[in-house]
Chain A
Amino acid sequence: MSADQVPGPMLETRSVTKHFVKHLDLAAKIVRRLGADIQEEIVQAVDDVSLRVSKGEVVGLVGESGCGKSTLGRMVAGILEPTRGDILFRGDSILGAANTQDREAALKVQMIFQDPFASLNPRMRVADIIGEAPLIHGIITRAEFDDYVDEVLDRCGLDASFKRRYPHQFSGGQRQRIGIARALAVKPEFIVCDESVAALDVSIQAQILNLFMELREGLDLTYLFISHDLGVVEHLSDRVVIMYLGRVVESTTTDALFEEPNHPYTQALLREVPRLESRHSEFLPIKGEIPSPLDPPSGCHFHPRCPHAMPRCSAGAPALKEIQPGWMSACHLND
């Protein structure tokens, strides 16, 4: 592929921001007309996130509920449009996708979803779920359809004889394999996995994680792996990005992050992730709830829960700064 020669990251997000606005209903509009102080509610799901993923890399995107990791993943996969900012695939913006070339680029980024029960059309046979998109996009002809579907199924560890069946005839692990096969069928180069193993049992989760690794080797894939499970991310990723309430708080290589986390939030997360090796643990949790993204705290979003919070933390948000080559962290303690 000649495109491999393009220098720079394979995928890049530049100051991407996504706001979800809850528009006022008629009653609220009337009340506002009459002088009541009613504002439209705005959720800042993703706030100024810049991310670079190089070819062949697995980047783990970690965070708790409401941190915007799924929204970011959906924007990267082209399902949502960012409010501000730009997303580039091999140096070209994928936003808008007005011409054929753009659409082809969009096809190169595919997504695998969390819920293997909700993400497959229950009325379509497996062969059609997998074969529909490549047929429409002209990757295969009608004559090649059966052989192609067999090949993709086989690659994902499914028996080709299953292809006449419907999704409900499969177990959760098998359905997730069908979801993976569907994503792979259009020959993508970049895969966004959004909590793709979270709904699976441990033994099935291990099978799917191994499949991800095999596919990465075999098809030269690049992954953005979104998960709340630090154990899974540590196992799979080369680099980890930690998000909290819409912002990136830390990003570095997996080794560095798990060895010596810099941001207090990362430290808390790592301390509290349960591990097989830590028996009879003393749980010393950080206090407080995850604040609502509707009304995030001022300054550093983490300051109400942070054990090191200082007055300036509530005053101004810390910038995401390079503390070592390739290691970014957003904390006033680094100044």
Chain B
Amino acid sequence: MSEGSARSDRETAETPAAAASHVTGNTLIVEDLQTSFFTKAGVVKAVNGVSFGVSKGEVLGLVGESGSGKSVTGFSILGLVDPPGEVVGGSIRFRGRELVGLDDIAMREIRGSRIAMIFQDPMMTLNPVLRIDTQMIEAIQAHSRGSRNAAYARAREVLMKVGIASPDERLRAYPHQFSGGMRQRVAIAIALLNEPDLIIADEPTTALDVTIQAQILYEAQKLCRETGTALIWITHDLTVVAGLADRICVMYAGRDVEQGDVDEVLDHPLHPYTYGLIGSVPSRNRRGRPLHQIPGMTPSLLNLPPGCAFRARCDRASDECLREPPVVEHGENRRARCFHPYPEGSL
């Protein structure tokens, strides 16, 4: 992407339309995204005001626990939220183009071509009854007009790129003939086929062993560096994004509570939730000592009371927290939603 279009994206980001207006990124800008599920029991606000941006070649770690809305954020970007769920507010701009409200046909052109997704379970991507070559060629020909031979060559090339030896043999195999790590590689290869500008990876290494996870992380990192693809890595595991991500966005109960550069967020967390989350990770320094624990558990998103959703578990909470905390800028690209952030360098 050229320098010029990057600038124009930033200009659009500064329009006074949305409350959070200092989100930057030249590939994707999500502003005040709201996705709700209209269930019989009531409205579940799974994503309730999330803003972030990703630029070319950048890795954004989207971190949160179960029910924080991190996966629904990913699905919302791709327009994969099914009824009773619905994107009810905010905007998702992909290279300057608004994706919220885009019709199915236009969305299908973008999905799998310009934006691709890697799921936790590679069998979400792979069809168990089709050979790998059939699936990969289909994915290419769905978006471009090339010949079958050209598509096959491309599939072979991409498989090599993700570290699969003897690609010709592997292309003729069925998904069940692969191990878990290999399947995830194939899923990544399929995501890469059409050289997307953005890949959304939803916990792709959670089910894998440590040595296999390292192989996948290596491929992901290489990919961003070589092709300049922007990557959103959704995970619950702070340690994974610590090594991989350039920036981190921490989510809690449907909101982005803190974001910034990876070093800033992990070394000087502002939000008490981020602070607690970092303290919860067993690490070399705290061996044998009790871990910092966040009391209680994540609240139900059904009928969430107003104000800060974290206040019941927060030791810094005050009466002020009964109001909705605004997004406060703490320097460039560094934001937190908290009335009582930790001062710099307090970890």
Contacts and interface: CB of A to CB of B under 8 A. Distances in A.
13 contacts: A201-B66, A202-B280, A206-B280, A210-B291, A235-B283, A235-B291, A268-B211, A269-B211, A272-B213, A280-B243, A283-B218, A284-B218, A286-B214
Contact of A279 (B213, B243, B290): B243
Given A228-B210, A279-B262, A206 B279 contact: yes
A128 interface: no
B277 A202 contact: yes
Interface size class of B (residues with CB under 8 A): 35 or more
B281 A201 contact: no
Nearest to B276: A203
Nearest to A64: B209
B306 interface: no
Nearest to A305: B211
Nearest to A290: B209
Contacts of B266: 276, 279
A151 interface: no
Nearest to A255: B287
Interface in A164-190: 171-174
Given A277-B284, A283-B221, A283-B243, A272 B210 contact: yes
Given A210-B293, A234-B282, A280 B214 contact: no
Contacts of B65: 201-204
Contacts of B286: 235
Given A203-B280, A272-B210, A285-B211, A277 B242 contact: yes
A172 B180 CA distance: 25
Nearest to B292: A206
Given A202-B281, A274-B237, A283-B221, A235 B211 contact: no
Interface of A: 64-65, 171-174, 201-207, 209-210, 213, 228, 230-232, 234-236, 254, 258, 268-269, 272-281, 283-286, 289-290, 305
Given A203-B293, A204-B297, 6 more contacts: A64-B210, A235-B283, A279-B263, A280-B262, A281-B244, A286-B211
B296 to A, nearest CB: 9
A276 B209 contact: no
Given A228-B210, A276-B238, A213 B243 contact: no
Top-3 shortest CB links A-B: A235-B282, A281-B243, A206-B280
A64 B345 CA distance: 37
Contacts of A202: 65, 236-238, 277, 280-281
Contacts of A209: 282, 291
Nearest to A281: B243
B215 interface: yes
B43 interface: no
Contacts, number: 137
B149 to A, nearest CB: 30
Interface in B149-192: 179-182
Nearest to B263: A279
B6 interface: no
Summarize A's interface: helix, strand, loop or mixed. Answer: helix
B253 to A, nearest CB: 13
Interface in B274-312: 276-284, 286-288, 290-295, 297-298
A116 to B, nearest CB: 13
A278 B291 CA distance: 20
Nearest to A268: B211
A12 B215 CA distance: 36
B242 A64 contact: no
A276 B281 contact: yes
A269 to B, nearest CB: 6
A208 to B, nearest CB: 9
A180 B277 CA distance: 23
B238 to A, nearest CB: 6
Nearest to B241: A274
Nearest to B65: A201
A286 B277 CA distance: 30
B260 to A, nearest CB: 13
B239 interface: yes
A201 B239 contact: no
Nearest to A197: B282
A206 B293 contact: yes
B259 to A, nearest CB: 16
A274 B276 contact: no
A280 B244 CA distance: 6
Given A171-B297, A203-B294, A279-B243, A273 B210 contact: yes
Contacts of B81: none
A289 B182 CA distance: 8
A213 B293 CA distance: 13
Interface string B216-253: 01100100000000000000111110111010000000
Given A203-B277, A234-B287, A275 B212 contact: no
A130 to B, nearest CB: 21
Contacts of B293: 203, 206-207, 210
Contacts of A210: 290-291, 293
Contacts of B236: 201-202
Given A269-B211, A290-B212, A206 B288 contact: no
A284 B291 CA distance: 30
